[in-house]
Copies of this chain bind each other. A is one copy, B any other.
Amino acid sequence: MSAAADRLNLTSGHLNAGRKRSSSSVSLKAVEKPFKVTVIGSGNWGTTIAKVVAENCKGYPEVFAPLVQMWVFEEDINGEKLTEIINTRHQNVKYLPGITLPDNLVANPDLIDSVKDVDIIVFNIPHQFLPRICSQLKGHVNPHVRAISCLKGFEVGAKGVQLLSSYITEELGIQCGALSGANIATEVAQEHWSETTVAYHIPKDFRGEGKDVDHKVLKALFHRPYFHVSVIEDVAGISICGALKNVVALGCGFVEGLGWGNNASAAIQRVGLGEIIRFGQMFFPESREETYYQESAGVADLITTCAGGRNVKVARLMATSGKDAWECEKELLNGQSAQGLITCKEVHEWLETCGSVEDFPLFEAVYQIVYNNYPMKNLPDMIEELDLHED
C-alpha cells in the first residue's frame, strides 16, 4: 500500500475514531501518474470548490498533482488583477472575501492554458456561460480527460431536457459527472460541516484502477473532514433535483408570505419532492428514486433551498407586497436572478409539449402564479390532486 493510501486510510480512521465500523475508509491505489486537476470558475461556489480540491490535491500527492489551477475570468480590482491578488494574497477578495485559499491553488486567466495536460476538469461557472466556455475549449481537451460539473440544473430546449453534464460530454467529447448537495457556498468555505453528492458513471473507455478516475478517486478529490462526500452513479437524479428545487422554493415563499406557517411550507416541500421524483422517472428513467430521498443532492438540498435563499425571498415579497416577480427580483437581488422564475417557465413549456402539465400540479401552479397572476391563495386547491392515494 502506498504512502498516500496509508495516509488516506489514516484520515478515514481518524474520522471514525471510537467506532468499530469504518465504511468510510477509502483504500486507494497509488496512481501511475498523479492526476492533474483544474477548476474552471472562480465565483463564490467555484472558489469554494477550488479550495476543497486544492486541499485534497496537496494532501494526496501520489494521487493528485499538488498544483491545482483555477481559471479566473480576469477582472480589475482597484487597479490590481484578480488573478494576481489570488496568487499573491491567496484570497478571492471579490467573490469569497475573508477566506484563505491554499497556496497550491493557482489562478490562471487563460482558459486554454489552464487545461493544458490536465486529467480532471471541475466546471463551476454560472449556467449561462457554459456554451461559450465549451466552444472555447473545443479541440483543446484530450478525450481521456474526465470532468465533474458543479453547475446546477439542466437545459430545457425544443429537443427536451438535457443534463448540463451531457452537454459538456457532447461538446467536448469527455465523460462528465456532477456534484450537487445541500451546500450554501459560504458555509462550506468557512468549513462548517456539510454533505454533498458526487455522481459519475464509469465510461466504456475506462483505463483501469490506478490509471483512470473512478469513484474512489472522486471521493479523495472532494471529501474533506468538513465536507462529507457520497459518490454514486446517478448523474441525472442529482442534476434534476438541483434544478427543480428552485421551483419548489418559490412555492414555499408564497405560503410563507401568505403567513400560513411551517405546516404549509413542509407540505409544499413534500409535494415538490414527489413531483421532482415523477419528473425524473418520466424523462430520465435511468435515474433512481432513492437518489431523491437518500442523497444530499436530493431531499437535503431541497430543505436547505426552501429554508431560505433567493427564490424564497422573491416569492415571499410577491405574497406580501402584491408586486410581480420581476419587480421583486429587481428590488431584492441587485441584478442577480432567481433561477426558479426561469426554470418554472422552461419546465412548463416542456411539459406542455409533452402533454404532461397535469402530472405536475405544483410546478404548474408556481408557473401560473408567476406568469399569469393566478391567486396564490388557491395553491392548495391547485395541487390537491397530487395525492396518489385517492380512489
Say if the beta carbon of A337 comes within 8 Å of chain B.
Answer: no
Q: A21-B385, A195-B267, A228-B384 are in contact. List 7 more A-B contacts (CB 8 A).
A: A16-B381, A16-B385, A26-B390, A192-B263, A266-B301, A269-B303, A270-B294
- A255 CB contacts on chain B under 8 angstroms: 193
Within 8 A of B (CB), among A139-190: 181-184, 187-188
Q: Are A299 and B300 CB-contacts (below 8 A) given A194-B264, A385-B22?
A: no
Report the minimal beta-carbon distance from A363 to chain B, rounded to whole angstroms: 14
Q: Are A294 and B388 CB-contacts (below 8 A) given A182-B263, A261-B184?
A: yes
Report the minimal beta-carbon distance from A313 to chain B, rounded to whole angstroms: 14
Q: Is A266 in contact with B390, judged by CB distance below 8 angstroms? A: no
Number of interface residues of A (CB under 8 A): 71
Say if the beta carbon of A292 comes within 8 Å of chain B.
Answer: yes
Q: Is B24 in contact with A264, judged by CB distance below 8 angstroms? A: no
Q: Is B182 in contact with A261, judged by CB distance below 8 angstroms? A: no
Report the minimal beta-carbon distance from A279 to chain B, rounded to whole angstroms: 15
Within 8 A of B (CB), among A273-301: 273-274, 292-296, 298-301
- A226 CB contacts on chain B under 8 angstroms: 380
Assembly stoichiometry (copies) = 2
Within 8 A of B (CB), among A183-220: 183-184, 187-188, 192-195, 215-216
Q: Is B261 in contact with A192, judged by CB distance below 8 angstroms? A: yes
Which residue from B263, B303, B391 sits with its C-beta under 8 Å from A183? B263
Q: Is A381 in contact with B15, judged by CB distance below 8 angstroms? A: yes
Contact with B along A362-391 (1 / 0, CB 8 A): 000000000000000001111011011111
- Give the one of A181, A195, A307 with max B CB within 10 A: A195
Q: Are A187 and B361 CB-contacts (below 8 A) given A255-B193, A380-B193?
A: no
Say if the beta carbon of A304 comes within 8 Å of chain B.
Answer: yes
Say if the beta carbon of A262 comes within 8 Å of chain B.
Answer: yes
Between-chain CB contacts (< 8 Å), 27 pairs: A16-B381, A17-B381, A19-B361, A23-B385, A23-B387, A24-B390, A26-B391, A182-B262, A182-B266, A184-B261, A187-B263, A193-B264, A193-B380, A194-B263, A194-B266, A194-B267, A225-B380, A230-B389, A231-B389, A266-B296, A266-B303, A267-B296, A267-B300, A270-B296, A270-B298, A270-B300, A270-B303
Report the minimal beta-carbon distance from A53 to chain B, rounded to whole angstroms: 18
Say if the beta carbon of A260 comes within 8 Å of chain B.
Answer: yes
Which residue from B193, B267, B361 sits with its C-beta under 8 Å from A267? B193
Closest to A270 in B: B300
- A273 CB contacts on chain B under 8 angstroms: 293-294, 299
Report the minimal beta-carbon distance from A380 to chain B, rounded to whole angstroms: 4
Say if the beta carbon of A131 comes within 8 Å of chain B.
Answer: no
Q: Is A228 in contact with B387, judged by CB distance below 8 angstroms? A: yes
- A308 CB contacts on chain B under 8 angstroms: 262
- Give the one of A215, A226, A228, A274 with max B CB within 10 A: A228
